[in-house]
Amino acid sequence: MRFPTLLLICISLFFASCGQYQKVLRKDDMGKKYVYADSLYKKGKYKKALKLMEQLVPAYRGKPQAERLMFMYANTFYELGDSYSAGYQFERFTQAYPQSDSTEIAYFKSAKSFYNLSEPFSLDQKETYRGMEKLQGFINTYPNSDKRAEANSLVTELRTKLEKKQFETAKQYYRIEDYKAAIESFDNFIADNPGTSFREEAFLYRLKAAYALAINSLPSLVQERLATAKGYYNSFTKYYKDTDSAAEAYEISQKIDEKLVSKETKPTI
């Protein structure tokens, strides 16, 4: 008998709370709406709290409670995973209340919301650039923040994503055997990203592309292009002679040497 009784009590409480929520939602008493929205927010019932806040925000604009309400409003979007709205609302908060005790965390959450909007590297990276800009702005504005390390880590993650996109674009040229475009793309990648984790692989692929271009060229161009490929090998060994990919690079250099015939050794007619 105890279980059905408890179940009835729970059901009654559920419907009572739903009924109370609907009453507050429909009425025009903004004071009650504010108190009820605050209680829902504290309990983590963000979807219900949001509906009330959408009514409260315009009503409390310019009032003393507006600062706290606007932060709650922005953070509700953040907790619900609506990164676009959270980023925008937190940004509005920082502009409206630059002296608030909550401005620093609002600035960080705004930047992190834009970070969350970043697409996978294979898609458009407009939001990635925007996220990096917002995070760097936070780091510059709050250099001593306890969120600085996390912000730096997020910037590094976004930068790596951009590097990967550029690197994969260059690799795609190699895959489709457009070796000239691949070499140019790897040249640009290496110049643009001196500290990238893809640097060694870019050096290796540039060498592979240069060798493939040489052996697939017109006979009159083979020697010159093999010499260029040998130069890329020398560049590789300057930085990566003792790495895991050094053996593959050395194997390519041996093939180059076998095919590279100097003028001095050419037979004369």
Domain ranges across the chain: 31-101
Got the DSSP string for 80-120? TT-HHHHHHHHHHHHHH-TT-TTHHHHHHHHHHHHHHTPPP
For the beta carbon of residue 254, count every other beta carbon within 10 angstroms: 11
Query: What gap in Å lies between CA 119 and CA 28, rounded to an integer?
Result: 42
pLDDT of residue 13: 47
**Residue segments in the chain with a per-residue pLDDT below the cut of 70:** 1-18, 261-269
Which residues have C-beta within 8 Å of that of residue 27, sequence separation ≥ 6? 33
Widest distance between CA atoms in the chain = 111
Query: What gap in Å lies between CA 209 and CA 218, rounded to an integer?
Result: 16
Query: What gap in Å lies between CA 109 and CA 114, rounded to an integer?
Result: 9
Please answer whether residues 43 and 73 qualify as being in contact, where contact means their C-beta atoms are separated by less than 8 angstroms.
no
pLDDT of residue 23: 85
Residue 103's Cβ-count burial label (10 Å; 0-12, 13-18, 19+) is: buried
Which residue has 């409260």 as its token pair?
56
What CATH class is the domain 31-101? mainly alpha
pLDDT of residue 216: 96
Q: In degrees, to the nearest 5, what angle opens at C-alpha 124 toward C-alphas 119 and 128? A: 55
pLDDT of residue 4: 53
The reported pTM is 0.84
Structure-block tokens of residue 151: 């912000």
**Residue 143 φ then ψ, to 5°:** -65, -20
142 torsion bin: left (phi>0), alpha (psi -120 to 50), beta (else): beta
pLDDT of residue 9: 45
pLDDT of residue 112: 98
